[in-house]
Amino acid sequence: MTYPEIAAFTLLALLPTPATPTYPWLARQPQPAECLHRRFVAPAGCQRQAVRPGSWGEWLRGLPLRPAGTPARLYDGRLKDNQAVVAAVVDIAPGTRDLQQCADAVIRLRAEYLFSQNPNRIHFHLTTGYDTWFSDYLAGHTFQVHGEEVKAAAKPAEAITHAALERYLLPVFGYAGTRSLSREVRPVPLAEVQPGDVLVHGGRPGHAVLVVDVAENSQTGRRYLLLAQSYMPAQSIHLLRNVAQPKLGAWFAVPSPAQAEFETPEWTFASTELGRFED
């Protein structure tokens, strides 16, 4: 192993786990008033589901939001056509290429969370099944795609930086998608939904929506979700507005077990299409 490779792995090992959620792409960490959980109070009669400190769910609950009324924009700066479904815009850039679409937005947020906790855990499968690790990327290993075949390739080793994470993610966005994301998560019943779970329909076309918060009515047991997505073309990650039930604002009631589908503003999922990352 070369010195740059050793240095990269040493830095990964020495990174401390933050005591409070951090958002590595920001120049400054968000003020409490800018966080998702402050903007969106739980529905009447509901309490937010408990989450473990340092967990994926706690991190999502603290996501920084752009000022109320900020429109969602495409990667090229144009406005998203359907602004009616946008309840808030997450303070994270969509990039300048048509890459950070629906599944990629989930991958981006998951990678940012892991980068803030333990970068050694960052890895994603491509649609072909190829498993690409961030630690390998830092050590000088990447991949090239030849037709339908993915082959290992060499690159210069580098130190761990957020810029390196962004470079690692670009080809992942290009060769991963809803099909690979649907295999990246394990199925869980919709009735057991937790913050950080993913509604994902793998295919072409497919779609993915991230559950960023969960609240529950203690009297009825009904759960309500806040949902975030990107879409096609690549665009701002945004919280969805419940246009079918405006009184709920951005919250969506979990369908009863008898219902076969879960309708979101721009995609209808089967009730069986919920998955969870392994912690």
Structure confidence by residue, pLDDT tens digits, 88-111: 999 999 999 999 999 999 999 999
Least confident of 118-122, 143-147, 165-169: 143-147
Say which residues have a Cβ less than 8 Å from residue 114's Cβ, sequence separation at least 6: 121, 122
| Mean pLDDT confidence for 122-129 | 96
SS3 content of the chain, % helix, strand, coil (to 5): 30, 25, 45
Distances (CA, A) of 88 to 32, 81, 152, 175, 222: 16, 15, 40, 28, 24
pLDDT digits (tens, 9 = 90+) for 41-80: 999 999 999 999 999 999 999 999 999 999 999 999 999 9
| Mean pLDDT confidence for 222-249 | 98
What is the average pLDDT score of the chain? 93
How far does Cα 193 stand from its chain's mean position? 16
Instruction: State residue 2's pLDDT score.
Output: 46
Instruction: State residue 13's pLDDT score.
Output: 45
Query: For residue 172, which of 236, 127, 120, 233 has the smallest C-alpha distance?
Result: 127
**DSSP 8-state code for residue 70:** P
User: 11 falls in which pLDDT band (50, 70, 90)?
Assistant: very low
- Given a cut of 50, whether residue 8 has pLDDT beyond it is no
- Given a cut of 50, whether residue 140 has pLDDT beyond it is yes
Structure tokens at 151: 């082959």
Instruction: Determine contact, residues 210/106, Cβ cutoff 8 Å.
Output: yes
Q: Which residue has the higher pLDDT, 264 or 15?
A: 264
| Mean pLDDT confidence for 216-232 | 97
Q: Using a cut of 0.85, tell me whether the model's pTM lies above it.
A: yes
Instruction: Determine contact, residues 155/5, Cβ cutoff 8 Å.
Output: no
Describe the crossing of helices 162-175 and 102-117 by its angle, rounded to 10 degrees: 150
Distance CA 261, CA 155 (A): 45
Distance CA 65, CA 186 (A): 29
Instruction: Determine contact, residues 27/58, Cβ cutoff 8 Å.
Output: no
Instruction: State residue 204's pLDDT score.
Output: 87
Percent of all residues in the chain with a pLDDT value above 90, rounded to a whole number: 88
Least confident of 52-66, 139-153, 231-245, 255-269: 139-153
Instruction: State residue 19's pLDDT score.
Output: 60
Distance CA 56, CA 109 (A): 10
Distance CA 266, CA 279 (A): 29
Instruction: State residue 173's pLDDT score.
Output: 97
Instruction: Determine contact, residues 3/139, Cβ cutoff 8 Å.
Output: no
User: 20 falls in which pLDDT band (50, 70, 90)?
Assistant: confident
